[in-house]
Structure 1
């Protein structure tokens, strides 16, 4: 493994999640503000970066294959396409009460997104429309 931190393989994995079909692995790399999508064999299928997403922490893949990512320092939650290459939507921002999102998950029974925050005692719940 390379010691050059500009190399894509020199990163700390914050979170990982598997696609519903099991063919993709999504990995957040907070130090480089990247979401990597890997194939089963470990090859990189996509690298996602967005200037509006900083310090990627939380990651969740819904049963429908929607990829949800928290930007702790950017104070937002976004949805990325299942290929892991394109932003589809911003789901929550500070205007919605998000301060330092650290974890995210989707509850299909209640049709809501649940957000845990760094250094906060509140868990946020957003009903999906």
Structure 2
């Protein structure tokens, strides 16, 4: 961890992962990642990404190459997510949506 940067490209609907030296490790795209915005790396190295136009929060591997899971969708109340954050202290995912914050807590 700490040797990569994660960059969303809203126009190309991709997550690009360069190494600190600028070498591109991967460029990721997926139908669940339409118009990506916010990205967050958890203390455990999980990469969470907001799909603004697809109304999704997805998890990709630390290399930024593969989708591991779709964590939340519009069915869960996610509409136009702009930011995502994992709180280790509360074991919850906070998602910033238009004019609101949604909290997902593992049960």
Tell whether the structures are fold-level matches, with TM greater than 0.5. Answer: yes
Select the residue among 2, 21, 27 that pairs with 1:47.
27
Q: TM-score, normalised by structure 1?
A: 0.80
Q: What is the total number of aligned residue pairs between the two structures?
A: 107
Unaligned runs of 5+ in 2: none
Residue 124 (str. 1) matches residue 105 (str. 2): no
Q: Which has the larger radius of gyration?
A: 1
Query: Root-mean-square deviation (CA), in Å?
Result: 0.9
Q: TM-score, normalised by structure 2?
A: 0.96
Partner SS for 1:101:
coil
Unaligned runs of 5+ in 1: 1-20
| Dislocated runs of 4+, deviation >4 Å | none
What pairs with 1:90-105 in structure 2 (closer than 5 Å)? 90-105=70-85
Q: Which has the higher contact order (CA 8 A, sep 6+)?
A: 2
